[in-house]
Chains A and B, each alone.
Chain A
Amino acid sequence: MRKSTYLLFAIFLLAIVIRLYFAFQTPYFTNNDSYFHIRQIEHIHDTGFPLYNDDLSYGGRKYLFLPMFHYFLAFFTLFMPILFAVKIVPAILAASTVLLVYLIVRKFTKKEEVAVLTAFISAFIPIFFKETINVISLYSLAIPLTLLLLYFFMDISSKGNAMLYVLVFIIFLFTKPTIMLIITSFIIYFIIIKIENLSLDKAEIEIVIFSLIFSLWFYLLIYKNAFYNHGYAFLWHNVPIKYFTDYFQQVSILQAIYQIGIIPFLCGIYIISSFTLKKKDKIMYLFISVVITTTILMWFKLIELNLALIYLSFFLVMLFAKFLDILLEYISQTKLNNYYNYIIGVILIILLFTSVIPSFKFADTNIKDATKQDEVNTLLMLFATSLQDTTILGSVDDGHLITYFSNRKTVADDNFLLIDNINERINDIDEIFTTYSKIKASELLDKYSIDYIFLSDNTKKQYGLSDLRFIDEKCFDSINYYNVTVYKNKCKVTIG
């Protein structure tokens, strides 16, 4: 085996070990959505089907989502406990981007050292760390699938690649609608190729036509009703106005650079300008197309900020590979060749400070922000002491957490699709948490048949509360389970 192969596997293992090290520091997860995913995985494990009709979320609702990721993880629960499966498998999936980046970069640079170095950088992309460490996230499958898709597309005319592309494409179709971003990128890629007067491979055009037609038809079947219900708001997942800026916010350049990594960012931008103004290279145009498409969609708030940054990160990293290729080629032809290893060392040190350390910082923050034991114990206590059709109010960010551990109904969570009057509901929740008026609060509590109010630290921080303002002993019992405050609603308003 070559030295580079050993190095590559070492990087891959390192990426897995680091991810698992952080992930197993807590038995719980950082992100609220993780608990939604676990419920789905458990349901598939038990019944073979996802939970599309949920009696608990929003007091009863239907979900609309693609289940491939959940089935994939559920498969592993056949061989290991669920907690292990949901901690280990996403970590391995996320780390697999190292191998895929290596393969892609080696394909277009034909240089092992450049490919290995780029693979190393891709293991420590800060935003990807932040979104996937100790989190059950669709990104951990969607990003490797994206890279795989592009890998096969780069050489679509080769024997077997078209069929492999189709296979990966179909898996991606059932994972996340982000495939449309890739297809749009391909169309932008064709436009750039035409402008640059380069020749297009017929097979590329054919595969993109197929991808466009198939995905349009598929998503029309799946999401038609959501579009009927929500109209334009469906494109933004029916996110309420209050949270819109959180999901689709504009980012400052400095923030973007920090989360992507300064070296890939700057070098990637250099390569983009170099290849759009001077040189011609189809593979570079392919990556540039993804960067352009992602930027445009982010600008028009058609994709979430974090998703956009992840895509930008990976493709700027690959453009950085080209920069590295050019740089090392230049160095090898000059007197600087004598200092070749030192230069590599300097690059690695810079990467350490600009990518690796920020990644570790994000990972550390994720672990600190993970669900607290007290909150879990409180919710388990509620499960044990409350009736089955009890409704618990928490903030939107605690919705899935409450549902998972207490197995009781909630008023809202962050899965907004197919929910009517979402803005009204969110405003009502805000009102409950901020109002001084007991009458107003009681009306709203009765409107949603709320029996308990779960006041986590997150909720207190979000609303700037130390306690609820309308509470009185006559109508509310304060129950301090394990340092987490829960209020039981004793009074109910009746309509005459």
Chain B
Amino acid sequence: MIKLDWLKNKKMQLLILLIITLIVILLPTIIRILQFKQIILPSDTIYYDIRMAQDIHNNNLLANDQLVFTQTEYVFNPLHYFLAILFIIIHPKITIILLTLFFSVMSIVLLYKIMENLSIPDNYKIITLILYILSPIFISSAIFLSKFTLGLLLFLALIYLKVIEKKSISVDIIVVFLAVLLFYISLSFLFFAIFFLFFYSFLIKKNLKKTIIMTAIIIFIIISLQQIAVIRQFTDIPGRTIYTNIFQETIADLGAFVGFGIFSILLFALGLYVMWKKQPMVKKYILFIIVLLIITYYFSDGKYLFNLCVSIISAIAFIYLLEQEWKLSLIKDVSLFILILGIIFSGLSTITRITAAYPTLDEYHAILFLQQQYSNINNQEYILSYYRYGHLLQSIPESNGKLPVFLDTKSYELNKYLNQSIIANELFYSRDIKKTTQLLTKYQIKYIFITPFMKSGIVWKKENQGLLFLLKNSERFKSIYNKNGVEIWEFS
């Protein structure tokens, strides 16, 4: 066993882990603030969450989103209600930043406490937590605040309450409540929670009866709530994930924001081998891991939670490599060094991508200009842009204006609005002025928002491709904004 004398103090252990967490989580935010001289939250869905929370706060929440052509139905998200309460006292952007810190710190504290209660040795505990903190999924989920960030915290709270062994009905009630809440975060989160409860009861506590009763209560409550039409329309059970490119969607080093580092996967595989061969006492957990892996394969949201599993098993592998006597000691040192480098590199790579994520300062200013000059929530005149700018264009905290868009991330991801994506692509790529103007008129599109990011290959690969050609060569389009590559065109 490795001796980590200087870390034997539990408080010192937790403090150091929290410091590392804060550095990792704050780094992209600080870099963005230094770069932009203001707070510009990365990604677009957070702006949707802020808008929904503000609508809840103002009692304006509607069943259908009026700021998108598809009028997407609102789906219940506990995060929105949580934000709505906090917005009473704190500015939205500050709230988001504080929440990312709070959720990430609390996750680490809970995880630490869980491992402590399970009497996990110090070295396994510390290395698991370091691997977890540096994992791309943890970094992404913390900074791109979403319901999954909240869900992670709820899940850890649920595990913690089970593990601390307080025999009281109120604890069980809270566990049931958390499980029901997890259902509204994501079905896979609920699956994970239920499987954990069964696993814990069966393999550790041998108290299956109570767990069966609790599971039955959870399912009963969920079904009852689903029977109430008002509640039913607020749930959104995801379909099975279809991977178009499983490598790019699950491996962070190859592009996935919610993905695993390649060296974590390597350590995970080695860790499974070590569990099977070298640590027979933990062999029984492998079936549990396989079930979780299957859930994660079918429901990609499960990656957020499966990441916990990967970190724990990777730690087993890492310590195994560390403690082994190698015949070639120099090779050992180099291998472990590269492994550590690779793990840090995955985390740093994610931080770098978050730092460079849209919106940029120029894009943000352009959106602000558009919202302040042309805010028209009563007129149905939509903005056409790449779907990822949709929620930004609808509303940003600095502006009182709101604008309806043709397509946003939420509607893009739903199969029933596939037609809108097809139409958007037709508009982007067609050089037929007649066809384009017909479509723009039919769908009441008034403005077109274009960024350098869209011209760098994400929408257009060449200059003067499709709509870019028509914008410059037709009198129907007027340029109303053009700064640093960000363009806004008005169609008349």
List residues of A whose CB falls within 8 A of some B CB. 157, 162, 166, 201-203, 206-207, 209-210, 212-214, 216-217, 220, 224, 227-228, 231-232, 420-421
B254 to chain A: which residues have CB within 8 Å?
224, 227-228
B262 to chain A: which residues have CB within 8 Å?
216, 220
> Is the Cβ of B338 less than 8 Å from the Cβ of A166?
no
Which B residues between 332 and 349 are near A, CB-CB below 8 angstroms? Answer: 332, 334-335, 338-339, 341-342, 345
B314 to chain A, nearest CB (A): 13
> Is the Cβ of B326 less than 8 Å from the Cβ of A202?
yes
Beyond the given pairs A213-B338, A228-B248, 12 more chain A to chain B contacts, judged by CB atoms under 8 angstroms and listed by A's residue number, are: A203-B328, A206-B328, A209-B335, A210-B334, A213-B335, A216-B262, A217-B263, A217-B338, A217-B342, A220-B342, A227-B247, A420-B457
Top 3 nearest A-B pairs (CB, nearest first) are A203-B327, A210-B335, A202-B327
Produce 1/0 per residue, B469-484, CB < 8 A to A: 0000000000000000
Q: Bin the interface of chain B by size.
A: 20 to 34
**5 pairs, CB–CB < 8 Å, chain A vs chain B:** A202-B326, A206-B332, A213-B266, A213-B342, A231-B248
Tell me if B381 counts as interface (CB < 8 A to partner A): no
A417–B410 CA distance with the chains assembled, in angstroms? 34
Our pick among A162, A210, A231 for the contact of B245 (Cβ within 8 Å) is A231
Our pick among A213, A224, A420 for the contact of B339 (Cβ within 8 Å) is A213
Tell me if B255 counts as interface (CB < 8 A to partner A): yes
A232 to chain B: which residues have CB within 8 Å?
245, 247
B44 to chain A: which residues have CB within 8 Å?
none
A224–B247 CA distance with the chains assembled, in angstroms? 12
Which B residues between 287 and 343 are near A, CB-CB below 8 angstroms? Answer: 321, 326-328, 331-332, 334-335, 338-339, 341-342
B253 to chain A: which residues have CB within 8 Å?
220, 224
A254–B227 CA distance with the chains assembled, in angstroms? 68
Tell me if B461 counts as interface (CB < 8 A to partner A): yes
Which B residues between 227 and 253 are near A, CB-CB below 8 angstroms? Answer: 245, 247-248, 253
A312–B245 CA distance with the chains assembled, in angstroms? 31
Our pick among A166, A216, A224, A420 for the contact of B331 (Cβ within 8 Å) is A166
B255 to chain A: which residues have CB within 8 Å?
227-228
Chain A, residue nearest B253 (CB): A220
The dominant DSSP class at the B interface is: helix
A35–B265 CA distance with the chains assembled, in angstroms? 41
Chain B, residue nearest A229 (CB): B457
A36 to chain B, nearest CB (A): 25
> Is the Cβ of B341 less than 8 Å from the Cβ of A217?
yes
Given A224-B253, A224-B254, A227-B248: A216 touches B342 (CB 8 Å cut-off): yes
B375 to chain A, nearest CB (A): 37
B342 to chain A: which residues have CB within 8 Å?
213, 216-217, 220
A161 to chain B, nearest CB (A): 10
B332 to chain A: which residues have CB within 8 Å?
206
Given A203-B327, A210-B334, A224-B253: A216 touches B263 (CB 8 Å cut-off): yes
A64–B345 CA distance with the chains assembled, in angstroms? 21
Chain B, residue nearest A215 (CB): B338
Of B262, B266, B331, B342, most buried by chain A (CB within 10 Å of CB) is B331
A220–B264 CA distance with the chains assembled, in angstroms? 14
A420 to chain B: which residues have CB within 8 Å?
457, 461
A202 to chain B: which residues have CB within 8 Å?
326-327
> Is the Cβ of A213 less than 8 Å from the Cβ of B245?
no
B136 to chain A, nearest CB (A): 13
Chain B, residue nearest A228 (CB): B255
A166–B461 CA distance with the chains assembled, in angstroms? 43
B44 to chain A, nearest CB (A): 20
A210–B327 CA distance with the chains assembled, in angstroms? 13
A166–B321 CA distance with the chains assembled, in angstroms? 20
A212 to chain B: which residues have CB within 8 Å?
266
Chain B, residue nearest A214 (CB): B338
A421 to chain B: which residues have CB within 8 Å?
461
Produce 1/0 per residue, B443-482, CB < 8 A to A: 0000000000000010001000000000000000000000
Produce 1/0 per residue, B337-378, CB < 8 A to A: 011011001000000000000000000000000000000000
A224–B328 CA distance with the chains assembled, in angstroms? 31
A217–B245 CA distance with the chains assembled, in angstroms? 21
A421–B328 CA distance with the chains assembled, in angstroms? 48
A207 to chain B: which residues have CB within 8 Å?
328, 331
A220–B338 CA distance with the chains assembled, in angstroms? 12
A436–B461 CA distance with the chains assembled, in angstroms? 29
A469 to chain B, nearest CB (A): 28
A7–B99 CA distance with the chains assembled, in angstroms? 78
B247 to chain A: which residues have CB within 8 Å?
227, 231-232
A319–B483 CA distance with the chains assembled, in angstroms? 68
A16–B332 CA distance with the chains assembled, in angstroms? 41
A152 to chain B, nearest CB (A): 12
Chain A, residue nearest B244 (CB): A231
A188 to chain B, nearest CB (A): 16
> Is the Cβ of A206 less than 8 Å from the Cβ of B457?
no
B339 to chain A, nearest CB (A): 6
> Is the Cβ of B338 less than 8 Å from the Cβ of A162?
no
Produce 1/0 per residue, B109-123, CB < 8 A to A: 000000000000000
A202–B254 CA distance with the chains assembled, in angstroms? 32
A151 to chain B, nearest CB (A): 17
Chain B, residue nearest A235 (CB): B247
A231–B255 CA distance with the chains assembled, in angstroms? 10
A207–B321 CA distance with the chains assembled, in angstroms? 13
A163 to chain B, nearest CB (A): 8
A224–B342 CA distance with the chains assembled, in angstroms? 13
Chain B, residue nearest A218 (CB): B338
Of B247, B328, B338, most buried by chain A (CB within 10 Å of CB) is B328
A213–B338 CA distance with the chains assembled, in angstroms? 7
A212–B461 CA distance with the chains assembled, in angstroms? 36
Our pick among B266, B331, B341 for the contact of A210 (Cβ within 8 Å) is B331
> Is the Cβ of A157 less than 8 Å from the Cβ of B331?
no
Chain B, residue nearest A220 (CB): B253
A162 to chain B: which residues have CB within 8 Å?
328, 331
A231–B245 CA distance with the chains assembled, in angstroms? 7
Chain B, residue nearest A204 (CB): B327
Which B residues between 136 and 194 are near A, CB-CB below 8 angstroms? Answer: none
A224–B251 CA distance with the chains assembled, in angstroms? 11
Of A157, A213, A227, most buried by chain B (CB within 10 Å of CB) is A213
B338 to chain A: which residues have CB within 8 Å?
213-214, 217
A420–B263 CA distance with the chains assembled, in angstroms? 29
A259 to chain B, nearest CB (A): 33
A209–B326 CA distance with the chains assembled, in angstroms? 11
A224 to chain B: which residues have CB within 8 Å?
253-254
Of A162, A201, A210, A228, most buried by chain B (CB within 10 Å of CB) is A210
A378–B409 CA distance with the chains assembled, in angstroms? 56
A231 to chain B: which residues have CB within 8 Å?
245, 247-248
A9–B338 CA distance with the chains assembled, in angstroms? 42
B326 to chain A: which residues have CB within 8 Å?
202, 206
A214 to chain B: which residues have CB within 8 Å?
334-335, 338
A214–B336 CA distance with the chains assembled, in angstroms? 10
A213 to chain B: which residues have CB within 8 Å?
263, 266, 335, 338-339, 342
Which B residues between 90 and 148 are near A, CB-CB below 8 angstroms? Answer: none
A253 to chain B, nearest CB (A): 33
A220–B348 CA distance with the chains assembled, in angstroms? 14
A342–B331 CA distance with the chains assembled, in angstroms? 50
A206–B255 CA distance with the chains assembled, in angstroms? 30
B268 to chain A, nearest CB (A): 14
Chain A, residue nearest B326 (CB): A206
Chain B, residue nearest A157 (CB): B327
> Is the Cβ of B461 less than 8 Å from the Cβ of A206?
no
B335 to chain A: which residues have CB within 8 Å?
206, 209-210, 213-214
A162–B327 CA distance with the chains assembled, in angstroms? 10
A166–B338 CA distance with the chains assembled, in angstroms? 14
B457 to chain A: which residues have CB within 8 Å?
420
B251 to chain A, nearest CB (A): 9
A303–B317 CA distance with the chains assembled, in angstroms? 31
> Is the Cβ of B331 less than 8 Å from the Cβ of A206?
yes
